[in-house]
Amino acid sequence: MDQTGKIGIFDSGIGGVTVLKEIIKILPYEDYVYYSDSKNNPYGDKTNEEVQKICDNIVKYLIEQDCKIIVIACNTASTKAVEFLRKKYTKMTFVAIEPAYKMVHDYSYENPTLVMATKGTIESEKFNLLLKKYDNHKTYVLPCVGLADIIEQGDRKQIKQYLNDNIGIYKNKVKNVVLGCTHYPLIQKEIEEVLGKVEFFNGASSLAKHLKEILKQKKLLRFPGISNTLNVQSTLNIEFKDSQGIEEKEKRFYSLLQK
């Protein structure tokens, strides 16, 4: 493993683009492979064993693509599979996203909070430990069954309907919203249409800083001496792979990346 290796990143679809966007802002000189596992989407309702098996195959693929580090850009996969992966691939470093609930504790403790995530994330031991540790005692936890799937399909009408039906009751009740699934930052506007102005908490930018720090520590950072403020568009090298090979996904991915 050396500096020239790629950064591998995966999610159960294109939602992880919200994480990649934060990463490329501060690591524009790296090469990336993004794996969108639309074939197995959604992960939220699968058992731990199923998600571990799926992630195992993705990791094998990313290692074959010469990845020097792997980012799990899916909260559900992080909660269900990161420990399994770390045990199995001891030479690989995994950086995993988690719901930004600690940020609420640090920056907006007083305010009522809604945590939105998949059922899998919310039921996981990892998330419950996080909740217990940073509880502000004004938190509603909402398993958004099926929401990641609708976002993945990109059907705006269905998304609006889902939000009206499921989060409408929190209008005027919450000021903070934790986006505990990497698909959800894609619908911030629609969430605010239902809840009104709220503050969003998303773990992607902290993950990006953490990733850069780890690459530095492990001497895996490409061009460590160069500042990171170059024009990102002209330098990026991002390969996209979808597990079903859907061309439309690729188009949506690149268009979201540029927004």
Among residues 95 and 148, whose Cβ is nearest to ligand DGL?
Answer: 148
Interface positions, 100-129, toward ligand DGL (CB under 6 A): 118, 121
Q: Is 21 an interacting residue with respect to ligand DGL (CB under 6 A)? A: no
Q: Is 28 an interacting residue with respect to ligand DGL (CB under 6 A)? A: no
Which residues are known catalytic residues? 74, 181
* Residue 223 contacts residue 212 (beta carbons within 8 Å): no
Strand partners, 140: 114
The DSSP symbol for 170 reads G
| Min separation Cβ 29 and ligand DGL, Å | 26
Among residues 237 and 244, whose Cβ is nearest to ligand DGL?
Answer: 244
Q: Is 202 an interacting residue with respect to ligand DGL (CB under 6 A)? A: no
Q: How many residues does the chain have?
A: 259
Interface positions, 166-185, toward ligand DGL (CB under 6 A): 181-183
Q: Is 52 an interacting residue with respect to ligand DGL (CB under 6 A)? A: no
| Min separation Cβ 207 and ligand DGL, Å | 12
| Min separation Cβ 38 and ligand DGL, Å | 10
| Min separation Cβ 51 and ligand DGL, Å | 9
Return the closest-CA partner of residue 152 out of 242, 238, 237. 242
Q: Is 71 an interacting residue with respect to ligand DGL (CB under 6 A)? A: no
Among residues 41 and 176, whose Cβ is nearest to ligand DGL?
Answer: 41
Report the C-alpha gap between 211 and 81 in whole angstroms: 19
Q: Is 98 an interacting residue with respect to ligand DGL (CB under 6 A)? A: no
| Min separation Cβ 181 and ligand DGL, Å | 4
Strand partners, 117: 143
Please report, for residues 133, 134, 200, the alpha-carbon distance to residue 102 in angstroms, rounded to integers and kept in the order given. 9, 6, 13
Residue pointed to by tokens 């064993």: 49
Q: Is 11 an interacting residue with respect to ligand DGL (CB under 6 A)? A: yes
Amino acid at 86: R
Interface positions, 31-50, toward ligand DGL (CB under 6 A): 41-44
Residue pointed to by tokens 């305010």: 111
| Residues 6 or more apart whose Cβ sits within 8 Å of residue 112 | 138, 139, 140, 173, 174, 175, 176
Among residues 46 and 68, whose Cβ is nearest to ligand DGL?
Answer: 46
Q: Strands, E, within the chain: which ranges?
A: 6-11, 31-36, 67-72, 94-96, 113-117, 139-143, 176-179, 199-201, 237-242
CA angle at residue 201 from 102 to 144, to 5 degrees? 100
Size of the site for ligand DGL (CB under 6 A): 16
Interface contacts to ligand DGL, rule CB under 6 A:
11-12, 15, 41-44, 74-76, 118, 121, 148, 181-183
